[in-house]
Amino acid sequence: MSHLPSLAAAFAPHEALAERLLPHAVSGNDGSHDAAHLIRVWKNARRIHGAEGGDLRILAAAVLLHDCVSVEKNSPLRAQASRLAAERAFELLDELGWRTGEITAVAHAILTHSFSANIPPESLEAKILQDADRLDAIGMIGAARCFYIAGRMGSGLYDPLDPLAEDRPLDDKAYAIDHFETKLFKLTDGFQTAAGRALARQRQERLRAVLGMVIEEI
């Protein structure tokens, strides 16, 4: 990660922590879970934290390390990705001399942020991380990530004969826009904080607008 100091500055006021953790923060070559994703999630987390409160240092570490173990979307280990990341985060923060209680708080937030893991977040920081990460899956960025991931997985954009799946089962492994209905439109109902829910409603409208424009053009 050649631009480490510049990237770390994006995690103010915890630039020093970011500089220590960023070399471990991203694994693999998934452009939907890269440093840019971490920065967006941090910005989302800061906005929610401004309204909801919580321990910003715990939240910064959790954001930085929530994707520190990469598991592809089509891997049978996908549901274990957040557990693996939480375990790795525990090791990294222990090496930095963090107290066990703080490390446990970070690890819980990482463990519970994942949609695939389906583990309810209990702490405020865990709820904020889950909301901040899911905000990046909806709206314009969410649409862009959906199409990007579909391309990586070898999926088509849509079924040319039945794009809205009116007479066929939804299949988001075959068609990108099917993923809007199978997952993305469902995320808004699961937001944990009031601030997160308000942001999610705005982005949900953008996501529906994207789908509407796609359908109009085809």
pLDDT of residue 10: 93
Same domain membership, residue 150 and residue 50: no
pLDDT in tens, 161-215: 999 999 999 999 999 999 999 999 999 999 999 999 999 999 999 999 999 999 9
CA distance 79 to 99: 28
pLDDT of residue 30: 74
Same domain membership, residue 143 and residue 94: no
Phi/psi at 175 (5° precision): -135, 130
CA distance 147 to 180: 10
CA distance 21 to 170: 39
pLDDT of residue 111: 94
Last residue of a domain, one of 125, 145, 163: 125
pLDDT in tens, 100-128: 999 999 999 999 998 777 889 999 999 99
Same domain membership, residue 80 and residue 14: yes
Phi/psi at 69 (5° precision): -115, 120
pLDDT of residue 38: 95
CA distance 96 to 78: 28
pLDDT in tens, 44-61: 999 999 999 999 999 999
The two counts, helices (H) then strands (E), for the chain are 10, 0
Q: Which domain holds residue 155?
A: 137-218
pLDDT in tens, 62-94: 999 999 887 766 666 667 788 989 999 999 999
Instruction: Please give the tally of structural domains in the chain.
Output: 2
CA distance 148 to 129: 23
